Every structure is written in C-alpha cells, then in structure tokens.
Structure 1
C-alpha cells in the first residue's frame, strides 16, 4: 500500500520549512486535497476528524507536509495540505494538562499522562512538553484513538543542550511512570538538529539519529549548529 502521496508541487521547489508549523503540531483543516491512488480510508478518517499531524519534510511555499491518521495502526498516510486550508493549530505543549473524556481516563496511556501531570516536581518539571501520537490526537479531537495497548508518546522541547546525565535521569523517571501504568512512554527531544529519541541520547552513544525535515542524519551533538550560530 502506498504510504505517502506524491508532492503537489515540483520537488525541486521543496526548499523551505515554514516555522509557523512544527513537527507533531495538529492542524485542523477546512479541506484536504484528493490525490491519485489515495487509500480509500483517508476520506472517512478526514470526515471523522479533519485534523492532521505535521510531519518532517521540506515543502514548497504555500504547502505543509502532513500525516492523516486512520482507525488502526496500519492506517497512516503522508500527504500535503495547503497553508490556506489551515484553520487552527494545536501544539503538543497545549495538551500537556488536557484530560480525556471521563470514560476514557482509565486507559493506560491516559493513566500515565495523569501521573505526569500530577508530578509537579517530577521528570518534566522545567521543560516545555506535551503528548503526541494517539494520546495527543484524542485529546485534541475527542475522537477515540488510544487503545488498551497504546504507548504514551511525548515531545520534549529542548532548544538548549541537555546533558547525558540529565537525560538519563529524565529517562529513568519516565520509565518509572511507564512501569506503574504498564505501558511504554516514548519521549522524543525536539532539538535544533531535529527529533532525537531521549533513550538514544541517554544511552551515551557517540552519534544519535536526528530526524530533520531534510532527512535523518547521524550526529554527535544535536545542539552544535545552534551553539555555533549563537542561537542557543
């Protein structure tokens, strides 16, 4: 099955990243352009919740790369939206203190999130963070997306360097909450070089995978560019 649409622009023109939208932001759209060979479930999913997640990819001016979520894990489709069709934006950190519907609060992912929300002096104190993945989508749309086996995905904004020791302490604390809830908590650091898995950075590897709009790359320091350019 095709998992990504062809860009609706000349590929050579995909040279920019509109900083108004960040990876994992949820965009409510007034319209989603139909493309050739689109999976049949996409229209149904968009009718149920006209919301898509920003994905990491360069785009031509006036476009943003998005992902559409279907009912199951296998239903994920990368496509493109016109900036003119964006109505509202919900960033992960805007959902950090959100709660699910009362009937959904007992699901393990939401139990873990509630524990983090109550832990004011805990692992995420001092960070800008928020839920992504199925939990973030459900909190933003109220469309059931979390299952009993769903992990809790988090995005942690780290514009400035995070020491390996601090990362390890953060990882250990998150894993404690995950164990108590009986699921995994998967945290990604949002760095100047792109998205970096907290577990990778905490593992003290010589290089880590940074996921950037221009493509993934193995780097030693996700903050090096910002430090060099005086941005952090």
Structure 2
C-alpha cells in the first residue's frame, strides 16, 4: 500500500486478526469509515464498487485491516473497516466465475481460464484462486482488468508444505503459460509464516521473505518453527 490510514485504535490493542476473513479475501462493505488524509479517489472508488481486500495487519477487536483500490496502480490505500460493516466475503478460491461479456479475451482472463480448465495441471491438486485486478473484477463485476494487467494468484499452502521441486514445476508451468498468452503471472503461497512468493520458494534460497500480519521476516522454512518467528 502506498498510503495507509492511522489505526482507529490504540496500537497496543492490535493483537489479532478476525478469523472469519483471511488476507486477500474480498469484503463487501455497507459503509467505509473516513479518516484524515484519505486520498480523494477513495470515495469514488467505494461508490463504484463497495469492496475492499483484507490485508495482512493486526487489528483490535471489531476491526479488520483492508485495502482499497482505485483505477490505476498508484491508487492503493490501506485503511480499516468495522467488522459490523462487512456484508459478505468471497475468497480467491471461490472466484470460479465467468468474466463480463467480451472481456474473457483479455490476457489475464485468458491465462486464468487456461489454468482453471486444466484438470491435470500442477494447480489441479491445490486450493488456489485469482487476486489483484482479476480477482477484484470477478468479485465485483466492475471492469478493472486491462490489456497490460498481470494475473496474480494465491495458492493456499497453510496446512501442507509445498516441496521445492513441486514449486519449481509449478513455476515453470506458470512461466510457460505467461509466455504463451503474453501476460505476467505472479503467484503467492499462503503459508503459516505468511505470504511467500512462489518464485522465491522455488529458487531454493536459504531464506525467503514471508509477509506476516506482525510484519515481514526472512525465514528458512515457512512451515517449520521459523514460521512462528524463531528465525526472524
């Protein structure tokens, strides 16, 4: 997030995350609380699509950390919503919807369809779904994806480690698809340590960057004891 609102609670009260929602879930809100220094585009964006994405940050009871998105890449805003204002939620893995008429040929949607229709591909045994502009458009049916949009993916790997050789095979598959369709595909693993880039884990680095609610940390094993901060 390029801009972030100050939390509407004492920072020492930010000790947990509402278990009903996970990072990258899209929340439909009945109201968006305004804070000082809110970018001018936020109200218009909320009027166009009253949705926000859950971001990785601790919050006090009754609040959820959210991110708002506007029209361009520069329009991103981290803020906070009251849990009582959440009307509904949809996870990336639930977004198996058809794009708006005439938009399925956009590179991001074409690549997504190819992955969803591949019953024997490396993603077929995993729980995954689109995030970013593709996920936002499928959740809201508000045109968001452009010809130059990336395809961002979230792969749920919280309960079962993803072996590095499997990660390499998956990365190679995604890169081949990206080259064939003409789109950049960026995948993130959802692990106990937080969000880890698939490309980093597949590269076999001694440590990878894990984006956790308590902050980023470099760890050796996102599924081991380091995932609890011992190797931070």
Q: TM-score range by the shorter chain?
A: over 0.9
The residue aligned with 1:19 is: 19
The residue aligned with 1:45 is: 45
The residue aligned with 1:122 is: 121
Residues 1:31 and 2:31 aligned together: yes
Q: Residues of 1 paired with 2:2 and 2:119: CA distance?
A: 43
Q: Which runs of 5+ in 2 are unaligned?
A: none
1:123 and 1:174 in contact (8 A); partners too = no
Tell me the CA shift for residue 2 of structure 1: 6.8
Residues 1:75 and 2:75 aligned together: yes
Matches within 5 A, 1:204-219: 204-219=204-219
The residue aligned with 1:145 is: 144
- RMSD (CA atoms): 1.5
Q: Residues of 2 paired with 1:34 and 1:128: CA distance?
A: 35
Helix, strand or coil for the counterpart of 1:61?
A: coil
Q: Residues of 2 paired with 1:204 and 1:27: CA distance?
A: 35
The residue aligned with 2:110 is: 111
Cα shift readout 1:185-214 (whole Å, capped 9, x = no counterpart): 100000011000000000000000000000
Matches within 5 A, 1:192-231: 192-225=192-225
Residues 1:187 and 2:191 aligned together: no
Cα shift readout 1:42-96 (whole Å, capped 9, x = no counterpart): 000000000000000000000000000101110000000000000000000001x
Cα shift readout 1:11-43 (whole Å, capped 9, x = no counterpart): 111011112110000000000001111111000
Tell me the CA shift for residue 117 of structure 1: 1.1
Tell me the CA shift for residue 225 of structure 1: 3.6
Q: Residues of 2 paired with 1:186 and 1:150: CA distance?
A: 11
Pick closer, same or farther for the CA change 1:35–1:109 going to 2, 3 Å.
same
Helix, strand or coil for the counterpart of 1:102?
A: coil
2:153 and 2:185 in contact (8 A); partners too = yes
Q: Residues of 2 paired with 1:75 and 1:143: CA distance?
A: 16
Pick closer, same or farther for the CA change 1:227–1:206 going to 2, 3 Å.
closer
Cα shift readout 1:162-183 (whole Å, capped 9, x = no counterpart): 1110100010011111111101
Helix, strand or coil for the counterpart of 1:180?
A: helix
Q: What TM-score comes out, normalization by structure 1 length?
A: 0.95
Q: Residues of 2 paired with 1:2 and 1:180: CA distance?
A: 32
1:194 and 1:212 in contact (8 A); partners too = yes
Q: How many residues align?
A: 227
Q: Residues of 1 paired with 2:82 and 2:92: CA distance?
A: 21
